[in-house]
Structure 1
C-alpha cells in the first residue's frame, strides 16, 4: 500500500473541503436567488437595526446583500428572489428605485417608513404610536405582553388583512402588520432591536418556512489555564451522563493583570487532560479569544478584539500602546478620504487579529484540543474583524456586535443564520443568557427568555454556564431548557465545520468525527509563544546548551562506569 499517496489524497480532500465549505444550516438555501435588503437611514450608514435585519434574513438565504437606497442598481433587484425594504427615517426616495421596486414581480416586504411610495403599498397611511405593551396575532386568541414598550406605526389604507394588532385605550384593535391581496407584507416597526422575534416570525411566514425543532445548546464558559479542572470535569461529566453534547469555550492563555505574566495551557497538564477527556465525552471546543484581555485587563473580564477604553476598533498591533483616538467621518471632505485615513489602522487591526486567532488555534491544537468555532470575548469585534475571522473559522457562537461606533450594542436573531455582516460565517446565536449568581433569582432572566423561545417555536435556545459555580444551578438550568417542546441538542461535531491556519486544518463533515491536519510542533509552539524578550530567548538557549552538556557528562560517566565494570569482570575471570 502506498501510504505517501494516501496521505497526499487525504490532504487534498481537506483543502478542497475548506475551499468549498458550505455550512449545513445554509446548504438547503443555496438554490434560491438570495435576499436583497435595501435601507434608508438618516446618514446612509448601516446602523444596528439594519444589521439585526441582516441577522434575521441570513437564516432564509446564505446569500444576503445589504445596500443603502442610493446605491441600488437595476441588476441588484433582478438577481434576487426576495426584496426587503427598511425605512428607518422618512425620505423621498429617488424615482428610479421606486420604479424598480414597484415593478418587482415577487412579493415585497416593507418595514418602517416610505413604503407607501411603492405601488405594492399604494394608499398606505401611517400613524406613529409609542409604548405599546400588548400585541396580538390575528391567528391567535390571546394577546402577548411585552416587557418594554414597542414603537409601532398604525396602518390604514391597504387592502388585504391584518396580521398583528395592538389595542388602544378605547379598546379598539389597530393593525400594524399587514398582508396585501398580492402577498406583499408591511411591518409597522422602526426599531428592530426591541422585538426581533416579531419580525423573524413575519419573515418566516412570508418566506414559507414551516416551524421546525428548537435547537438547544449550552457553553461551559471562560475556561482558561486558571480554571478549576475538578469543577470543570464535574459539570462536563454531568452533561455527559444526561446525554447532552456541550461546548467548551476555551481561552488558551491567562494574563495576570498586575504583573503582565502569562500562564499557558501547556503549563497546566491536569487541566489539559481534563479538557481532552471532556472533548472525548461530547464536548466541542471553541476559541474564546487568545487571552480574553486587552492591555492589562484580567483574562475573562477584559476585551480583546475591541478597544473598550477608547470604544473603537483595535488601532495598534501592540495591546500595550496608548490608543490612537480615531477621527470621525464628518472630519473628512468625503468617504474616500476617510477610508484612506483608516487604512493603516485597519492594517494594524488585521495583523493583531490574525496573530491572536492563529496562536489560539495552534496552541489548542498542540495540546490535542481541536476548536470547531469562534466566540468573540464579550461579543465585541468590528465588522472588519469579522471579515478577518471568517478566513479562519466557518462558524461563530454567541452574539455579535451590531455597530462599529460602540461595543455597547450587541445582539442576535433567534435563528441559525449566515448574514452578510459575517462574511460567510454561520452564527449559532445565544438567546437565553446565563446564570447570574449575583442576582437574587440567578435563573430569572434565562427563564424569561426560555418562555419567549417557547412562544416563538423553532429557533435556537442557546445559553452559557460558568463551571466555577459548581453544580448548584446546572441541573435546574438543563431542566428549564429541556421544557422547551420539540427541542434537540446541538452537537457541533455533527455539523460541517472548518477551522484553519497556515499550519492547521480542522474539519468536520457531520458524522461526529474530527479530521485534523496539523504541522504544529509542541516544542516550536512553546518557544514561539512563551518567550517575551531577546534576553529570555538567550537564557533559554543557554539553558539548553547547559542541559546538553549535563546530558553528555552523565552519558560519559555511565559509559566509564560500564567500561570499568567490564574490565573488573575480565580481570576476575582471568584470575579465575
Structure 2
C-alpha cells in the first residue's frame, strides 16, 4: 500500500488547506445541539462532558450551558435540545417556558423532566441498581457486570424502550419515547451506562447504524524502540492489507541521567518508520517525550502533573511545580480564576512548545503526523483547546475532569464534542493486549462483543510492538470478526496538522500534502537545546570551535610570515 507526499509552495498549500477540512464537518452541519444541565455545583461534571462526547457524534456544533445561564438566544438557532438533570432542583421558570415553547422533540435525562409540559405526568417511583435490562429492539436481555443506577418512573404515555425486572418479577420501564417523539432516559450516571444512552440518542436522531470503523495503533514508538519488532508488526499488517496507525514519540528521556535521545539520532528507526509510512502506516504525535519532569518516556505523563494530580503549572518542566490551591479556599470564582491565570499561561506556553517541537521534529525526519494522541489520555480542557490549534483530530480517550486524571471516557463512535474545540475523536473502545492478565486478549474479546452488539461504531485499540508477533495475528482475527467492519486509513480522511512552519493536510484521496518552511540546521540547534546542561554544551562547543578557527588562522599567518621572511633573506643574500 503506497502513499504520495506532495510538497506544496506556500500559496498552493494555503489553497488546499482552505478547500479541505476533516470529514467530521461534512455530515453534521444540519444538527445544532444545545445541552442544558443541572449539577450540584453548577459546573460541567464528568457526566456532563460524557453527554457532550455522545452528542458530538450527531453534530459538530454542540453548545453546553448550565440551567441558570440559558437565554432565548441560546435556543433560537438550535435544532435539538437535550436537558440533563444530574441533581434534583426547581428549575427557573424562564427556562421551563423556553423549552415548553419549542415545537421540536425534547430529549431529557435524569431528574426534573416532569417540570416540562411534555413530561408533566411523569413521576419518580424509585432509584434502583439493576444488573439486567431488556430493550424492545432486542430478543435477549443485556447483563451488566457493574450494575446500573436507573430511575423507575411512571405516568408517561407512549412506548417503553428499555425495561428491567424487579425482584418481585414486575417489569419497570426507565427509557420512554412519547407519542410526540420526545425521549426520556432515566439515568443520572452516564459514566457507566454501557452504550445505553448512545443507542437511545442514535434512535432519537434517526440514525441507522452503518459499518463499524476498525483501527489498530502500534503504540509508544520512541527512538529507543526495537525497529526490527516494529517492522515485523507493520509488515504483517501491510500484508493483511490493513492500514494502521503509528503513535510516535520523537524524543526518549532517560529519567536517571536526564539524557535525551532524538529520533534523528536513530537513522535505522527513521528508515523503518518511513518505510512503514509508505506501506499503509499513518504517523500520529504521541507527545514529545511522553514524560513529565523525571519520568521515563512511555511511562510518564506529559501534559498533566500526575504526582500532584493537577494541570501543568510551570513553563519549564525542570522547575519544581507549584501545588495549586483548592477553589474552596477563595471567596468567589472570580478570585479563584484570577489566581489560576499565571499558571494557565505557563501551561499554555509549555503545551504549545511541546506540540510544536513534536510536529516539526517528525516532519524534519520525513515523517508526516496526521493526528494526535495525548500520553495516557491525560490533558486539561485548556490543553485540548491548545491542541486544537495544531490538530484536527485526536485518538484514544479523553480526560473528563480538570481536577483529576483518574476520570476519563470515550464515545462508541466518531464524535466532535464541544470540549475538544473542533477536534474529531477517534475513540479507543476495545483496549489493548495486557500481558499482566492471565488471558491477555480476554478484555479485548469482551469489548469486541459489545461493539458487535452496538453496530456501526468504532472498534479501536492498540498493540505494543515490543510484544513481537505472539498476540498480533489473533488480535487482528478478533477484530475482523466484527460484521461489516472497515479498516480506517487515516490518509484517506481529511486531516490538518500545522505549526507556524509546517502544514500537513490530507484531502481524502490518500495523498499527504506538506508545506515545510523548516531550516534543517536552525531547527536542529533550536530543538535540541532543552536542558541547561545541553545549552552549556552548545556554548562550550561554540567556544572550542572559535578557538580552533583562531588557531588555524594563526597557524596560516605564521606560515605566511615565515615564507615572506625566508624569501626576503634569499633576496638579500643575492
TM-score (norm: length of structure 1): 0.92
State the Cα distance separating 1:515 from its structure 2 match.
0.5
Aligned to 1:180: 178
**Compared CA separation, residues 547 and 274, structure 1 to 2 (3 A):** farther
The 1:158/1:526 distance shift into structure 2, 3 A limit, reads: same
**Aligned to 1:22, what secondary structure does the other structure show?**
coil
Aligned partner of 2:80 among 58, 79, 82: 82
Runs of 4+ in 1 over 6 A off after TM superposition: 546-555
Give yes or no for contact 1:417–1:428 (8 Å, CA) kept in 2.
yes
3-state DSSP class of the match of 1:516?
A: strand
Give 1:393's aligned residue: 391
Whether contact under 8 Å (1:130, 1:149) holds in the other structure is no
Q: CA deviation at 1:545?
A: 4.9
- Is the aligned partner of 1:262 residue 2:260? yes
8 Å contact kept, 1:26–1:59: no
Contact 1:429-1:460 at 8 Å conserved across structures: yes
| Contact 2:371/2:392, CA 8 A, preserved across alignment | yes
Distance 2:425 2:240 in 1: 26
Is 1:483 the counterpart of 2:481 in the alignment? yes
Change in CA separation of 1:128 and 1:547 when aligned onto 2, cut-off 3 Å: farther
After superposition, the Cα gap between the structure-2 partners of 1:546 and 1:238, relative to the gap in structure 1 and judged at 3 Å, is farther
More RCO (CA 8 Å, sep 6+):
2
**Aligned equivalents of 2:83, 2:16: Cα separation in 1:** 36
Equivalence map 1:123-522=2 (5 Å):
123-522=121-520
Corresponding residue for residue 48 of structure 2 = 50
Q: C-alpha distance in 1, partners of 2:226/2:548?
A: 33
Q: Alignment partner of 2:151: what SS?
A: strand
User: Any idea what SS the aligned residue of 2:148 has?
Assistant: strand
The 8 Å contact of residues 353 and 388 in structure 1, kept in 2 or not, is answered as yes
| CA separation of 1:485 and 1:364: change in aligned 2, threshold 3 A | same
Kindly state the Cα deviation for residue 224 of structure 1 after the two structures are TM-superposed.
0.4
Kept in 2: contact 1:380–1:400 (CA 8 A)? yes
In structure 2, distance between residues paired with 1:136 and 1:206 = 18
Deviation at 1:216, TM superposition (A): 0.2
* Aligned residues of 1:306 and 1:380 also touching (Cα < 8 A): yes
Which SS does the other structure have where 2:527 is aligned?
A: helix
Deviates more, 1:63-72 or 1:541-550: 541-550
Q: In the aligned structure 1, how far is the partner of 2:555 from the partner of 2:129?
A: 83
Q: Secondary structure at the match of 1:286?
A: strand
* Distance apart, 1:322 and its partner CA: 2.0
User: Which residue number corresponds to residue 10 of structure 2?
Assistant: 11
Counterparts of 2:323 and 2:336, CA distance in 1: 14
Consecutive unaligned residues in structure 1, runs of 5 or more: 1-5, 556-576
Between 1:12-21 and 1:172-181, the stretch displaced more is 12-21
Distance 1:536 1:381 in 2: 33
How has the CA–CA distance of structure 1 residues 554 and 131 changed in structure 2, closer, same or farther, with 3 Å as cutoff? Answer: farther
Deviation at 1:340, TM superposition (A): 1.2
8 Å contact from structure 1 (residues 196, 413) kept in 2: no
Structure-1 separation of matches of 2:143 and 2:334: 47
Q: State the SS of the aligned residue for 1:514.
A: strand
Question: Retained in 2: the 8 A contact 1:155–1:178?
Answer: no
Matched with 1:562 is none
Q: Indicate the residue corresponding to 2:569 in structure 1.
A: none
> Secondary structure of 1:216's partner?
strand
Q: CA RMSD in A?
A: 2.0
Residue ranges of structure 2 left out of the alignment (5+ in a row): 1-5, 557-574
CA contact (8 A) 2:20 2:507 kept: no
Q: Give the match's secondary structure for 1:365.
A: helix
Shift of 1:27: 1.1
Q: Contact 1:287–1:360 at 8 Å: present in 2 too?
A: yes
Aligned length: 549
Comparing 540-549 and 373-382, the one that deviates more? 540-549
Give, in whole Å, the separation in 2 of the partners of 1:69 and 1:467: 48
Measured in 2, the distance between the counterparts of 1:554 and 1:275 equals 47
| 1:518-574 residue CA offsets vs partner (Å, 9 max, x unmatched) | 11133222211223344212233245557878999999xxxxxxxxxxxxxxxxxxx
**Contact 2:7 2:516 survives alignment (8 Å):** no
Distance in structure 1 (CA, Å) of the matches to 2:129 and 2:249: 42
Q: Do the aligned partners of 2:35 and 2:52 also contact (CA within 8 Å) in 1? A: yes
User: Judging changes above 3 Å, is the alpha-carbon distance between structure 1 residues 173 and 230 closer, same or farther for their aligned structure 2 residues?
Assistant: same
Cα distance in 1 for residues equivalent to 2:78 and 2:350:
37
SS in 2 for 1:319: coil
